[in-house]
Amino acid sequence: MASTEERMQILKMIEEGKISASEGAELIRALDRNKQSERAEPLHGTSPARWFRVRVTDMTSGRNKVNVNIPMGLVNVGMKMGARFIPDTVDNAEYQDVMEAIRSGRQGKVFDYTNEEDGERVEIFVE
């Protein structure tokens, strides 16, 4: 079963209108499935990434417009749902680079994109 913290994060995303209720339910089901499969995996000595963080910053004011933290157990489902929000200016190769960074276990900043036209900066972190 998903932890209380993870469930609360999903509920907060629903409340803020970042995702729909049906998307939230799908995320919770995916998280529950992931938690069940994690129990059978042995520990490897290093701590795996736990969070996928997306931050969109207004370049004019320097303030965060979006700051979303998604449990890593939900990333595959979340990336499929979030793919529709990828701007046309971001090509498929950049999306694939982010997915490869996640699959390979890389941590830290995995994506950094600045849209000068809209005055926004998008950063993605795996922590």
The three-state secondary structure class of 100 is helix
pLDDT of residue 93: 78
pLDDT of residue 58: 93
Can you tell me the distance from the alpha carbon of 62 to that of 51, in angstroms, rounded to the nearest whole number? 23
pLDDT in tens, the chain (127 residues): 457 788 888 888 889 988 888 888 888 877 776 655 444 343 344 567 788 899 999 999 999 999 988 888 787 676 666 666 666 666 677 778 888 888 888 889 998 889 888 899 999 998 8
The DSSP-derived string for 4-60 is: HHHHHHHHHHHHTTSS-HHHHHHHHHHHHHHHHHHTTSPP-SSPPP-EEEEEEEETT
pLDDT of residue 125: 92
